[in-house]
Amino acid sequence: MKREPDWLRYIDNDAGRNPVLLVEGPSDEVILNYFFNQHHPGWNLHLFIGQAGGKSEVIQGLKHRPRWIGVVDRDEWSQAEVDKAQRQTPRLRALPRFCIESFFCVPKELWPALSAHYDAGRGDIERLKRPILDALPDWVAHGAMWRVLRVRAAGVRSRDVFPNALQDSPVTDENEIRRVLETWHLYLDPENILEEYRAEKKRGLTLPVDEQLARYVVGNKFFKQVVAPTLDALFGAADKNWLERLRDGQIQPPPDLTDSFNEILGLL
What 6-13 contacts at long range (C-beta under 8 Å, 24+ apart), as own/partner pairs, is 7/52, 7/53, 7/57, 8/61, 8/64, 8/65, 11/48, 11/50
Strand order in the sheet with 20-23: 48-51, 20-23, 69-72, 92-94
Indicate if the pLDDT at residue 155 is higher than 90: no
Provide the 3-class DSSP secondary structure of residue 46.
Answer: coil
pLDDT band at 189 (very low <50, low <70, confident <90, very high): confident
Q: Report how far Cα 220 is from the mean position of its chain's Cα atoms.
A: 8
Indicate if the pLDDT at residue 227 is higher than 90: yes
Indicate if the pLDDT at residue 158 is higher than 90: no
Indicate if the pLDDT at residue 136 is higher than 60: yes
Indicate if the pLDDT at residue 238 is higher than 80: no
Indicate if the pLDDT at residue 180 is higher than 80: no
Indicate if the pLDDT at residue 80 is higher than 90: yes
- Quote the pLDDT of residue 164: 62
- Quote the pLDDT of residue 85: 94
Instruction: Please report, rounded to a whole number, the percentage of residues in the chain having pLDDT higher than 70.
Output: 89
Q: What is the DSSP string of 9-45?
A: HHHHHHHTTS-EEEESSHHHHHHHHHHHHHHSTTGGG
Indicate if the pLDDT at residue 72 is higher than 90: yes
CA angle 29, 140, 254 (to 5 degrees): 40
What is the tens place of the pLDDT at every residue in 46-68? 899 999 999 999 999 999 999 99
Contact at 8 Å (CB) between 81 and 59?
no
**What separation, in Å, do the N-terminal and C-terminal C-alpha atoms of the chain show?**
25
Average pLDDT, the chain: 87
**How far apart, in whole angstroms, are the C-alpha atoms of residue 183 and residue 166?**
12
What are the φ and ψ backbone dihedral angles of 183, each rounded to 5 degrees?
Answer: -65, -45
Contact at 8 Å (CB) between 223 and 105?
yes
Q: What average pLDDT does this structure show over 176-180?
A: 78
Q: Is 31 left (phi over 0), alpha (psi -120 to 50) or beta?
A: alpha
Q: What average pLDDT does this structure show over 214-237?
A: 91
| DSSP run (H or E) holding 71 | strand 69-72
Indicate if the pLDDT at residue 163 is higher than 60: no
- Quote the pLDDT of residue 31: 93
Q: What average pLDDT does this structure show over 137-141?
A: 94
**How far apart, in whole angstroms, are the C-alpha atoms of residue 154 and residue 2?**
22
- Quote the pLDDT of residue 45: 87
Q: What average pLDDT does this structure show over 107-115?
A: 88
- Quote the pLDDT of residue 244: 84
- Quote the pLDDT of residue 151: 81
pLDDT band at 26 (very low <50, low <70, confident <90, very high): very high
Provide the 3-class DSSP secondary structure of residue 92.
Answer: strand
What are the distances in angstroms from CA 113 to CA 135, 247, 248?
A: 22, 8, 9
Query: Which domains can be identified in the chain, with CATH numbers?
Result: 6-95+256-266 (3.40.50), 107-237 (no CATH)
Provide the 3-class DSSP secondary structure of residue 49.
Answer: strand
- Quote the pLDDT of residue 156: 59
Indicate if the pLDDT at residue 89 is higher than 90: yes
CB atoms within 10 A of CB 123: 9
Q: What average pLDDT does this structure show over 153-171?
A: 59
